[in-house]
Each structure stands twice: as C-alpha cells, then as structure tokens.
Amino acid sequence: MNPPSHIIGKSLKRVDARGKTTGETKFLTDLNLDNMLHAAPVYSQIPYGQLLGIDISKAESDPDYIAFFSARDIPGENQVGVILADQPLIASETVRYIGDSVGILIAKTDEAAQRLAKLVEVYVKPFTPVLSIDESRDATENFIHASNLACEHQVKRGDPEAAFSLADHIIEARFETPFQEHYYLEPQACIAQRTSAGGIFIIGSIQCPFYVQKAVARALALPFSKIKIEQAPTGGAFGGKEDIPSETCTRAALAAFILKRPVKMVYGRIVDVQLTSKRHPFQMHYKVGVSSAGKLLAAEIQLEENAGAYATLSSVVSYRSAMQAMGPYVIDNISVKSKSYYTNLPPTGAFRGFGSPQAAFGHERMMDIIAATLKMDPVEFRLHNILKLDTKTLTGHHLKVSVGAEETLRTAVEASGWNSRSESTDPRWKTGYGVALIHYGNCLGAAGWFMDGSGVKIKIHRDGSIAVAFGLIEMGQGALTVVNQMTAEALGVEPSRITVLPTDTEQVPDSGPAVASRNVIMTGNAIRDAASKLLPVLKEAAAELLQCDLKEIKIERGLVTNSRNAGSLGFTELANYLYLSNRPMDVLGWWHVPELEYDAATGIGEAYFTYSYATHIAKVKVDTLTGLVKVAKIWASHDVGRALNPAGLEAQIEGGTVQGIGWALTENFKLDLGRVLTDNLTTYLLPTAMDVGEIESIIVEDPEPEGPWGAKGIGEPAIIPTAAAIANAVSHALGKPINRIPIIPEQILNKIGG
C-alpha cells in the first residue's frame, strides 16, 4: 500500500485565481499589438439563398477602411469543416444561415470595422429556408447540402423485435430538448499575425489550438510547421470554442497574411450569439419493452438532431448520443438510430456533454415513465437494471472495472432522504423529487480513437523549478491546477515548484481537442509517462550525490532521501547537480487511450474505454399559480474514479449542475426565421444564484486502473443528468409527464390547465 498522498486528493488552491481576481491575467481583448488592424465579419442576413454579389462601395470610401476579403482571396482550400468538408471558410455561392460569413472587413479600429461591416451590401436571392428537423427530414428537394442528412450513427444489438414480443409492457414516448447557447463570458476573440518567416502566429481564446492550426494550414496552403497557435487565457468555452475558432482565427489569419499586419477580431455579443454554434436540439422517440418484474427487455430509439447549417461536430454528438442512448442500464436487445439533419439555422456543434444531456433526458424520463407504468419506485426500478461490474453496456461493452453507477445512486438516495420524501400539502406550491442516472464515455471513443492521444513536456530547471507544457487547455475548469498537482505527485515535489505554461502548438505533439472531459485522464497519464522517464535519471543523480544505490532513493515533498544511510538533499540541490552533470532535463510524455474493439456498422463493442457515472436527485417546488419551477436542492453524486482535487471537482459539479438547471428551466432560446431573438442576457436568462437552490456534491471513488491515480473525467458528467432529474421532479410534483424543456411557466400552466 502506498502511503496517502499529501497532494492527490487535496484541494490545492487554483493557481490562476490570483491573476484572474486581480486583473493581472490578460484576456485577448486586453491585448493589442503595434500596427494592428481590426476585423469584423460580413454575413448573410438571409437564412438561405444564392449569393449574387457584394457591394463594398459605401464602406471603402471611409477613411478608416482598410480592406475587404472574400472567398476569392483564399489561397488554399475554401473549407473549414472540422469533420465533414461541408463548410466554406467564407461562403461564395450559397448562404445557409443568418450569420454565414461572406467576407471579412478590415478597418483601423474595432469600432470602424463593426460600423463598416454593416455598410457592406450583401445581395442574396432567397430560397425557402428549412427551419426544423421535420422540414429537413421530409424534404424531397432543395437540399441544404448534397442531402439534408448531415450524419448518422446506430447501435443494433441483440434481437429487439423478438424481445419486444416477450415484453409484458411496451411503452412509447416522445421527448424534445431545445437549443442552448454557451454564453461563455468572453466572446470569440483572436489576433493573427504574419511571422517573419512567412508563417502565421495566432493567439486567441481557443479550446483546440491544434484544430486551428489545421484550419489555417488548409485555407492558407501553409505547412503546419509555419503555423503556431497559442491559447490566450480563455473566459469560458463549454465546447463553443472547439470548432468556431477554426473559422474566426483562419479568417483573421487570411487578412493578416495578405496585409502583413496583425489583425484582431473580437465578436460583440449579438454577433457571437447569431454566428456561433449551439447545443443541438433533439427530437427523440423511445419505445421500450419491460417485464412486469421491472427488467428492461428491448428498446427501439430514434434520436433526431438539428445540426443547423453545417455539420461541424454533429458526428460526435450523433455518435455519443447513440452510444449512451439507453443510459447506464443492462439492455441486451436494442436498436438506436441517431441522425443529424441540416437546417437553415445557426450551426449546432460541441457543447458540454456532446448530446449526452439530450439522450439522458430521453432515457431518464423514459425510466420514470416505465416505473410509473409498473407502479414501481423510480429508484427501485433503476436498481433492477443498473450497470454493475461484469455486466455489459447497451453497446455490449463488458465492464470489468470502475462501475460506480449503483454507488452514486445509493449515496444520492441516502443524502436526499429519497425514501422518506414527502409531498407538499401546500395547495399552491407542489413539491416533487426526481432522479436521473447517467454513464458518460470518457475521451473521444472508438470513432475518434486515432486522435485520442495527448502529450506533455516537463522541464526541470537548475533551480529546481519545473515548467510543464501540456497539449490541452485551461478554459476555466481548473486544468492548470490539476496539471500542477499531478506533476507534483508524479515527481514527488511541492506544487509551488511548478509552473504550467500557456498552451501552444509548438511545445507538445498534436494532443487532440480539449473536449470530452479528457484533460485529467490524457494529461495525467502523459505526466506519468514523462515521470517514468524522469525518475530514473533523478534517482541515478541522487544516488551519485548520496553515494548509494538508486533503488534506495526516495523523492517526496521535494526532499530526496536515501533509505540506507539516511542521507538527504533538497530537490533544488539535486536539480542543480543535474544541470552541472550535463543531463538534459526536458522530457516528453505521451499517452493514448487503449485500443478499442468496436464495430462501426453495428455500433457494438467498446464505444469508450471507460465511463464516468452519476446520479442527480432534484427536489423542486412548482408554483401552480405562476407556473414557475424553483429548484430547492440538487444532490449530485459522481463516480470520478478518484478525486484529485475535491474543491475543483465540486466546482465542476456545481457549475455543470447550474448549466443544467438553466437548460432545463430558464434558458429559452428563440429564433424567428433563423434570426436569434434571445441575443443578450435580458432575453436569454442564465440562472442566477437566486435560481439554483442548494447543490450538494457527493463524490464516489471507484478507481479506474487506466486513469491517473484512478481518476476519470468530470467536466461533462456534471451537466448531463440535471435536466432529466428536474423534469422527473416536476412530473412527480404535477403528476403529469414533462417531456420537453425548457420547463417555462407557460408549459406548467398548460399542463395544469390540460
């Protein structure tokens, strides 16, 4: 047994807290370069049509006007699709949503760029826009791309038809979930510069620097080696800076490359909301067969996703929602079809959970509906079917380690007093309790295995200070702090020695995207790999100094000791000796997820290498007079494998839960013929501290052997069950099924009235 760590499992304070609270941290908007120009997008005001022409005459007569660039100025490929090649960097023939960029206007000031962009006349011959999933699916002509189906994934396992025939009950229901706007505090922002060597250097508020590098290489026909992307401190992302910076940065880079001057582009809020990606709205149809005893026998599930004008990351959303469509339960006969349809609306893309919250809304509402049919307690019904060790997921993945689903349910039930929950007797305020369980496949999964590797570079300086470069990013989630902690633990030194560097594409190999709750697992394992190379060198040097065998050396808390003769030295002294003995102390670490057995045609196999599990229990109060739903409390129990930094974990759980509450209740995203109506905080209501009630985080540790120190991902699991738990609680309070979110007062009042 290892002794308990003084680092892992401890709530180290956030290393970026000081800079962010004092204002010393410079966000992109704080950064200006000499001789810099400013850019603003010029975009279509028509949701769908043929681009006939662009007239810049009103803009170009302005003394602050510098240039306008359109598709014809792109030296490389006019293509920015992250997965599918369906999206021009700048639209040249067809515009597909209000916000589709047809050019970029460059001016001397930001104010002028925005003003002059509005003076550019964009002539479009309008087509009839496709505004819903149904319209898109049912269209027989006038397709938005070659087809209106952006992508699809499926699972086909067992024999659902036969299994349905044996079922005591077959229950069907439809569910709907809406758009969600990321509403990161800091909008899209970047500065692109041409380098002396004729390359491009971009600094920006970016979630996936390696994606941006690829996008610039493609559009500007430059080698990757001449493109450097650095992440500026980033004020929130939530997926919204996964794909979009590939567009914005590459457009700015195009201008900087041609003009040979730095070009800054920062979206204003209204532009940001109109132009950038959202969470996919889902329409879901569930048909599930169960035995009277409460055993899930068969399921047939259709998931339909509104992809908006371009696919961007729809394929990932479609894949993940299919793989998790029936949740953390044993079900051996299942058919899932998940399809993303193009519409003439803003593109939907990456958003915390990647389709998981939507699928969770489907399967967890379904579980409650079935339990009600069977007249079973929702928890009891779930326990009949829950994933355990030595069971198989819906894709047939045989689980052999780290299955904490039941433990999250047990702890949440206990903490919430589920079994002694009481109904309200208040005639106006109805109380309800709802439970929701999820499993979440960590990292990119079988469909993205080829890019599911990440790196670090650890540099020990002669003064014993240590710099760590990693390939993923800090976007508010606490990555810098946990990377610091993991490095300190791996090397046996104090966290104060460690500086985690800003991420750029030069320091480490392409580490894939900072998504899918990957950071702790990928970076942590890469750190362990680097440490496995460093420690023998450190110990060899220490053994020289302490005149003993290297096996007798221990390095802990920055103290190097020799178990034989009790000699010791400080880590600083050791580092200086390493320098003086001419040992290079830069080491690269790398980790990629284990190979997965998976068949894409059937969707059967190891969809992901491991899963996080969670249970949320929501207690709500519904005001039957106004229709308002108040969240009284959420008990959020998460199996994270191992809690590396409990305070950081709780912050993630609370943040995710709040974002789930917003999506469930207050964030009512509205469009009118493709134009976003809710483009500011007056109309798009993020939950405030007054709206979220109490959140109690419960941490379950069922270690994952492949995770660093047993850890699994938490960034996304935190949001996934929340909305389903709330909808189950409201359904329970009203005694009527709530199968659609957001649960705005109108829906409640209609239900009560109906």
Residue 135 in contact with a second copy, rule: CB under 8 A? no
- Burial class from Cβ neighbours inside 10 Å (0-12, 13-18, 19+) for residue 164 reads middle
Q: Is the dihedral of CA 113, 118, 121, 127 positive or negative?
A: positive
Residue 570 in contact with a second copy, rule: CB under 8 A? no
CB atoms within 10 A of CB 219: 25
Residue 597 in contact with a second copy, rule: CB under 8 A? no
Binding segment (CB under 8 A) for a second copy, from list 78-86, 276-284, 581-589, 608-616 = 581-589
The minimum distance between CB 12 and a second copy, in angstroms, equals 16
Residue entry with tokens 């199996």: 639
The minimum distance between CB 461 and a second copy, in angstroms, equals 4
The minimum distance between CB 649 and a second copy, in angstroms, equals 24
Q: Would you tell me the crossing angle of helices 378-385 and 405-416 to the nearest 10 degrees? A: 160
Chain center to CA of 576: 41
User: Which listed residue (139, 588, 628, 685) binds a second copy by CB under 8 A?
Assistant: 588
Residue 592 in contact with a second copy, rule: CB under 8 A? yes
User: Which listed residue (387, 508, 574, 634) binds a second copy by CB under 8 A?
Assistant: 508
Is residue 135 within 8 A of residue 673, CB to CB? The reply is: no
- Report the residue number, 84 or 588, with the smaller CB distance to a second copy: 588
Cα–Cα distance measured from residue 387 to residue 379, given in angstroms and rounded to the nearest whole number: 14
Residue entry with tokens 């149904």: 134
Paired tokens of 607? 């969809």
Residue 516 in contact with a second copy, rule: CB under 8 A? no
User: Which listed residue (174, 260, 398, 400) binds a second copy by CB under 8 A?
Assistant: 260
Residue 34 in contact with a second copy, rule: CB under 8 A? yes
Backbone angles phi, psi at 42, to 5 degrees: -110, 125
- Report the residue number, 177 or 193, with the smaller CB distance to a second copy: 193
Cα–Cα distance measured from residue 546 to residue 550, given in angstroms and rounded to the nearest whole number: 9
Classified as helix, coil or strand, 550 is: helix
DSSP classification of residue 329? B
DSSP classification of residue 664? I
Residue 453 in contact with a second copy, rule: CB under 8 A? yes
The minimum distance between CB 197 and a second copy, in angstroms, equals 6
Among residues 436, 290, 283, 282, the alpha carbon closest in space to that of 364 is found at 436
Residue 62 in contact with a second copy, rule: CB under 8 A? no
Amino acid at 298: A
**H or E element, residue 434:** strand 429-441
Classified as helix, coil or strand, 36 is: coil
Binding segment (CB under 8 A) for a second copy, from list 127-135, 247-255, 499-507, 620-628 = 499-507
Residue 455 in contact with a second copy, rule: CB under 8 A? yes
- Report the residue number, 275 or 530, with the smaller CB distance to a second copy: 530
Residue 226 in contact with a second copy, rule: CB under 8 A? yes
Residue 75 in contact with a second copy, rule: CB under 8 A? no
Is residue 462 within 8 A of residue 576, CB to CB? The reply is: yes
Q: x/- binding map, residues 84-123, to a second copy, per CB under 8 A?
A: ----------------------------------------
User: Which listed residue (5, 499, 678, 747) binds a second copy by CB under 8 A?
Assistant: 499
Paired tokens of 582? 């001419």
The minimum distance between CB 217 and a second copy, in angstroms, equals 6
CB atoms within 10 A of CB 85: 12
Residue 233 in contact with a second copy, rule: CB under 8 A? yes
User: Which listed residue (35, 57, 140, 682) binds a second copy by CB under 8 A?
Assistant: 35
Among residues 576, 742, 751, the alpha carbon closest in space to that of 661 is found at 742
Binders of a second copy: how many residues, by CB under 8 A?
58
Binding segment (CB under 8 A) for a second copy, from list 4-12, 421-429, 582-590, 650-658 = 582-590
Strand pairing report for 37-43 and 101-107 = antiparallel
Among residues 393, 413, 403, 401, the alpha carbon closest in space to that of 327 is found at 393
Residue entry with tokens 């178990």: 563
Residue 224 in contact with a second copy, rule: CB under 8 A? yes
Classified as helix, coil or strand, 495 is: helix
Residue 450 in contact with a second copy, rule: CB under 8 A? yes
Residue entry with tokens 């409650």: 368
Cα–Cα distance measured from residue 77 to residue 697, given in angstroms and rounded to the nearest whole number: 48
Q: x/- binding map, residues 168-207, to a second copy, per CB under 8 A?
A: ----------------------------xxxx--------
The minimum distance between CB 201 and a second copy, in angstroms, equals 10
User: Which listed residue (60, 62, 176, 510) binds a second copy by CB under 8 A?
Assistant: 510
The minimum distance between CB 451 and a second copy, in angstroms, equals 8
User: Which listed residue (52, 270, 580, 600) binds a second copy by CB under 8 A?
Assistant: 580
Is residue 151 within 8 A of residue 340, CB to CB? The reply is: yes
Classified as helix, coil or strand, 7 is: coil
Residue 462 in contact with a second copy, rule: CB under 8 A? yes
Which parts of 201-220 interact with a second copy (CB under 8 A)? Answer: 217
User: Which listed residue (4, 223, 753, 754) binds a second copy by CB under 8 A?
Assistant: 223
Binding segment (CB under 8 A) for a second copy, from list 30-38, 345-353, 363-371, 549-557 = 30-38
The minimum distance between CB 593 and a second copy, in angstroms, equals 9
- Report the residue number, 398 or 462, with the smaller CB distance to a second copy: 462
Cα–Cα distance measured from residue 229 to residue 248, given in angstroms and rounded to the nearest whole number: 13
* Residue 342 C-beta-side C-alpha neighbours within 13 Å: 24
Is residue 712 within 8 A of residue 439, CB to CB? The reply is: no
- Residue ranges in contact with a second copy by CB under 8 A: 16, 18-19, 24-26, 31-36, 196-199, 217, 223-226, 233, 260, 449-453, 455, 457, 459, 461-463, 465-467, 469, 497-499, 501, 506-510, 579-582, 584-588, 590, 592
